[in-house]
Homo-oligomer: A and B are copies of this chain.
Amino acid sequence: MSGGLRLDEIVARLGGMLQGDGSLVVSQVGSLLSAGAGEIAFIASPKYRAQLKRTKAAAVIVPPQFANDTTLPHIIHQNPYAYYARVVGLLNPALPGRSGVHPGAVVNSPLPASVSVGANAVIGDGVRIGENVTIYPGCVLGDGVAIGDDSVLHANVVVYDHCVIGRRAVIHAGAVIGADGFGFAKDGQHWVKIPQIGRVVIGDDVEIGANTSIDRGALDDTVIGNGVKLDNQIQVAHNVSIGDHTAMAGCVGIAGSARIGRRCTVGGAAMISGHLEIADDVHVSAGTLVAKSLSQPGAYTGIFPLATHHEWLHNAAQIKRLVKLAERVAELEKTIELMGKTS
């Protein structure tokens, strides 16, 4: 936490229009409900308007249409949520990095002086690392890996040989980049391993969650576009490509060679089958299996609705009789048509 910032300093740095006392100092953010003295909140949606009236925050960030709804000092901005995100960053700056290589690290490649490498990290041969990169303890980077400026690899991240990570990446603990894709050819009852000789190539501004895995390509590369955000426990198979600015929630799985468009969102635990294409701006609901290509933008869902276990037993039993039920209805229709004619 910083020592706090005056509202006029915030506006000078982030833009927006200030109304009220610019000398007011805020030192932390909070929600409309929880914020108190010295804290700044935001409102983006009309449904929180009642909370805006009652908030004990010292100041608020509001969109133009709510500018008159508060007597508190406020900053007006078209996108209060994104503005708020930036204020959180200003008020909670990352601690100054301890650059330099810990003596317990094993580094086999020359690094810029601005790079920080934690204890027991291991960096292979021919690795190229940009300026101001932070490698936390326990990370293992294979030979020939490349990492762009200002990226952060949290503890125990593994990057296999020759994978490429762009600038400003944030990769969380336990993530594995570049393990072999799951490629085997059947030979009788045995599986013959197909060596996986592609790489993983990750664009700029990508965040990758804890314990997420992204496999290297079989022949060509697995490609993660710019600005992609992947949550924890995600599995990205070989030769997948994910378009710029697509975001995926935790536990998602993407099977091999799937091509996901730009600006898509994928809900938690959704699964995307292999060898299909998903258009730009597709939104897949949590828990949904996508087993075919989706060529049109829009929202897609496929989940069995929740019920009490007792109700579910009854309704699930009907699922197995659906074809029969449809046949019975068709039969009734025929009978009635006949009755209509004969009567």
Residues of chain A in range 194-252 having any CB-CB distance to chain B below 8 Å = 194-195, 197, 205, 207, 209-213, 215, 219-220, 227, 229, 231-233, 235, 237, 244-245, 247, 249-251
Question: Copies per complex?
Answer: 3
**CB of A127 within 8 A of chain B?**
no
Residues of B within 8 A of A166 (CB): none
Most chain B beta-carbon neighbours within 10 Å: one of A173, A191, A209:
A173
Could you tell me if B207 and A193 are in contact, using CB atoms closer than 8 angstroms? Answer: yes
Q: What is the 8 Å Cβ interface bit string for chain A, positions 120-140, against chain B (1 contact, 0 not)? A: 101000000000000011101
Could you tell me if A155 and B154 are in contact, using CB atoms closer than 8 angstroms? Answer: no
- Nearest neighbor of A253 in chain B, beta-carbon distance: B251
Q: Which residues of A contact B (CB under 8 A)?
A: 1, 29-31, 34, 79, 81-82, 84-86, 88-89, 92, 94, 102, 104, 106, 118-120, 122, 136-138, 140, 142, 154-156, 158, 160, 170, 172-174, 176, 179-180, 182-187, 189-195, 197, 205, 207, 209-213, 215, 219-220, 227, 229, 231-233, 235, 237, 244-245, 247, 249-251, 253, 255, 262-263, 268-269, 271, 273, 283, 285-292, 298-323, 325-326, 328-329, 332-333, 335-336, 339-340, 343
Could you tell me if B320 and A315 are in contact, using CB atoms closer than 8 angstroms? Answer: yes
24 A-B pairs with C-beta separation under 8 A: A79-B185, A79-B187, A84-B194, A85-B192, A122-B137, A138-B140, A142-B155, A154-B179, A173-B179, A182-B232, A184-B207, A184-B229, A189-B227, A189-B262, A210-B213, A251-B253, A268-B271, A269-B289, A286-B289, A289-B304, A289-B306, A290-B306, A311-B320, A314-B323
Residues of B within 8 A of A219 (CB): 29-31, 34
Residues of B within 8 A of A104 (CB): 104, 106, 120, 122
Could you tell me if A182 and B154 are in contact, using CB atoms closer than 8 angstroms? Answer: no
Could you tell me if A173 and B190 are in contact, using CB atoms closer than 8 angstroms? Answer: no
- Nearest neighbor of A93 in chain B, beta-carbon distance: B195
Could you tell me if A326 and B332 are in contact, using CB atoms closer than 8 angstroms? Answer: no
